Amino acid sequence: MEKIAQKFEKDVIRRDVQWLTASRESSVSFTPLHALDGIITPNGLCFERHHAGIAEIDPNDYRLIIHGLVDKPLIFTLDDLKRLPRVNRIHFLECAANTGMEWRGAQLNGCQYTHGMIHTVQYTGVPLKLLLEQAGVKPAGKWLLVEGGDASGLNRSVPLDKALDDCMIAYRQNGEMLRPEQGYPVRLVVPGWQGNMWVKWLRRIEVGDQPWYSREETSKYTDLMENGKARKFTFVMDAKSVITSPSPQAPVKQKGFQVISGLAWSGRGKVTRVDVSFDGGRNWRPARLDGPVLDKCCVRFYAEAEWNGEPWLLQSRAMDDTGYVQPSKDDLRKIRGVNSIYHNNGIQTWALKTNGEVENVEVG
């Protein structure tokens, strides 16, 4: 069976952008969005972003420590975590740098590369709230430092309110134990917030009274504005969408009936509506949302259309339940300039050519 899949589906793999990737261990690989449907990303196809390789942690030796401004510092083994009441939640994880290479113009020919730093997974684990309640956060405790057990010791500050609201200590993805590259055996889930905060190989949570201003939240993962000042803490990933098919890696093969398919998401809540345009944003029509529409989760949309071989400028535009509408790239740049790497949620344009090929372009 595996051989058949290897023969006919062998191109459905994570890929690197060669000029960006020194080695996959200390870099990034991209989810093949153009080859997927529905909302769940199969485990072996989830993009990976490692700051210093994949840590190898024996689950029997795994420990999670909670300390700082708590009544009772605690250490949990993996078995301790598995004995606690558990929940299942489906969420997207988007790297803040997703689409980051497109700030100055269309660069990469494929939604795998322009938008593939996202995956949507069902996580099984323990609400972080439960662990914090067991430790007893002191009244002065307002922030958490969350730290990974990899060589980068990646650490971030998370506001206590968010931790108590919906953060999870996850040990399973899509049913099986986390993959090593996703933080085996335990990672933090921070629904709707930038992927960098979803610490993998989570080993330490310290409760404090203010943010730590660690490297990853000061020199990195902040937005450098036109005037040279950087925004402090852009945690939430705003509403965004992309047409995954047709797209440069999924060209149109024949004229006639076409299923336009894509993904939309919002870190602020639920996607309420997606519009698609065939003429670069002059006219819009509502797409059909199909499958589950969940909080801080990807939703699948479809729009059916006849293609007679004329050029199309395909776009999608997401809206969420806060009333937010995904901006055009021009509107985004008016506010943000082009110094940023992070948080580019501008509307993507694909040019469908008369021969069925699709190209990454911008319309001005």
Contacts with ligand MTE by CB under 6 A lie at 46-51, 93, 95, 119, 148, 150, 152, 154, 181-182, 195-196, 198-201
Which residue of the chain is nearest ligand MTE when measured via CB? 148
Tell me the closest approach of the beta carbon of residue 158 to ligand MTE, in angstroms.
12
Tell me the closest approach of the beta carbon of residue 110 to ligand MTE, in angstroms.
18
Q: How many CB atoms lie within 10 A of CB 3?
A: 7
48/166 with CB nearer ligand MTE: 48
Tell me the closest approach of the beta carbon of residue 202 to ligand MTE, in angstroms.
7
Contact indicator for 201, 57 with CB cutoff of 8 Å: yes
Q: How many CB atoms lie within 10 A of CB 109?
A: 17
48/238 with CB nearer ligand MTE: 48
Tell me the closest approach of the beta carbon of residue 142 to ligand MTE, in angstroms.
23
Three-class secondary structure of residue 44 per DSSP: helix
Tell me the closest approach of the beta carbon of residue 72 to ligand MTE, in angstroms.
26
Beta bridge partners of residue 94, listed in sequence order = 118
Q: How many CB atoms lie within 10 A of CB 193?
A: 25
93/137 with CB nearer ligand MTE: 93
190/294 with CB nearer ligand MTE: 190
52/75 with CB nearer ligand MTE: 52
Three-class secondary structure of residue 131 per DSSP: helix
Binning the chain into helix, strand and coil, the percentages to the nearest 5 are: 15, 35, 50
Q: Please report how many Cα atoms fall inside a 13 Å half-sphere around the Cα of residue 360, on the Cβ side.
A: 20
Taking the CA atoms of residue 106, residue 19, residue 234 and residue 121 in that order, the dihedral angle to the nearest 10 degrees is: 100
Contact indicator for 243, 350 with CB cutoff of 8 Å: yes
Tell me the closest approach of the beta carbon of residue 153 to ligand MTE, in angstroms.
7
115/200 with CB nearer ligand MTE: 200
Tell me the closest approach of the beta carbon of residue 256 to ligand MTE, in angstroms.
37
CA 298 to each of CA 12, 111, 120, 192, 267: distance values in angstroms, whole numbers, following the listed order: 20, 15, 7, 10, 10
16/359 with CB nearer ligand MTE: 16
Tell me the closest approach of the beta carbon of residue 121 to ligand MTE, in angstroms.
8
Length of the chain: 364
Closest CA to 287 of 267, 260, 324: 260
Beta bridge partners of residue 89, listed in sequence order = 123
CB within 8 Å of 314: residues ≥ 6 apart: 243, 246, 260, 276, 277, 278, 349, 350, 351, 352, 358
203/317 with CB nearer ligand MTE: 203
Tell me the closest approach of the beta carbon of residue 176 to ligand MTE, in angstroms.
14
Contact indicator for 84, 133 with CB cutoff of 8 Å: no
34/51 with CB nearer ligand MTE: 51
How far apart are the C-alpha atoms of 69 and 62, rounded to whole Å? 23
